[in-house]
Structure 1
């Protein structure tokens, strides 16, 4: 029986050459006030069905591996959300198209707990993107607190 060793096992590793790689977790906070509006945002309106919340940047060269939504204080009953990304420039890439539900499709944002990623693809962002949460089910009418954590390997720009 032969032992076969891949030659490119560390291809495109960014930064130091440590055996544990460049895995990082980016944390994004989403809090709403008593009227259901996002705190520290450009809107004072309550989150409504179909609203897209831009949570922050996902860097170019990040290999997207996992995500979870941690609901500490839930939104109004029946609110769900899709967690995904869109490119800064809004233009798709053939190998890695924008996907509004890349990480989570129809995750429960009303119940305290963790919502784990349920996507099935793995790839590296070819350009800067924005982490987005698209709301469905109901309009938020209460204070809530949610943390979103995206985990991946930072491989750097191509």
Structure 2
């Protein structure tokens, strides 16, 4: 019987020399007011069906491992959302296409609870991207409090 040792898989690791990698958790906050509009945004209109909420930046070279959505106070009944990303420059990448539902597709944003990523692709962003939440099901017309955490490894620019 042979002893097989796998080669070190941390090649291309960005940053320090920690044997634990460069795991990062990025947190994005989403809250709406009594009319259903996103607080601290560039819009005073209530969130509607088909609206895309830009939650913030995902850095170039980040490997997207996982995401969780914490619904502390849910949106209006039947509101659902898909969590994904689009590139900051608006130009798709053939090898790593932008995906509006990369993490979650049609997750329930009305019920208090935790949603976990259901996507099956492990990708590294070739350029800066934006984390987006696409709303479906119904318009929001109430106060809500949602937090999104994206986990990944910062591998640095290529």
The answer for the alignment partner of 1:13 in structure 2 is: 13
Q: Secondary structure at the match of 1:71?
A: strand
Cα deviation per residue 1:86-109 (whole Å; 9 max; x = unaligned)?
001111112210000000000000
Cα deviation per residue 1:63-90 (whole Å; 9 max; x = unaligned)?
0000010000000000000000000111
In 1, Cα distance between equivalents of 2:96 and 2:103: 14
The answer for the alignment partner of 2:44 in structure 1 is: 44
After TM superposition, the structure 1 = structure 2 runs for residues 96-107 of structure 1, keeping only pairs within 5 Å, are 96-107=96-107
The answer for the alignment partner of 1:123 in structure 2 is: 123
In 2, Cα distance between equivalents of 1:68 and 1:40: 22
In 1, Cα distance between equivalents of 2:156 and 2:130: 16
Cα deviation per residue 1:20-45 (whole Å; 9 max; x = unaligned)?
11001000000000000000000000
The answer for the alignment partner of 1:134 in structure 2 is: 134
Gaps of 5+ in 2: none
In 2, Cα distance between equivalents of 1:6 and 1:17: 19
Q: Secondary structure at the match of 2:57?
A: strand
TM-score, normalised via structure 2 length: 0.97
In 1, Cα distance between equivalents of 2:22 and 2:132: 23
In 2, Cα distance between equivalents of 1:4 and 1:17: 25
In 2, Cα distance between equivalents of 1:12 and 1:135: 36
The answer for the alignment partner of 1:114 in structure 2 is: 114
Gaps of 5+ in 1: none
RMSD, aligned α-carbons: 0.9
Q: CA deviation at 1:4?
A: 3.0
In 2, Cα distance between equivalents of 1:111 and 1:64: 25
State the aligned residue count.
158
The answer for the alignment partner of 2:82 in structure 1 is: 82
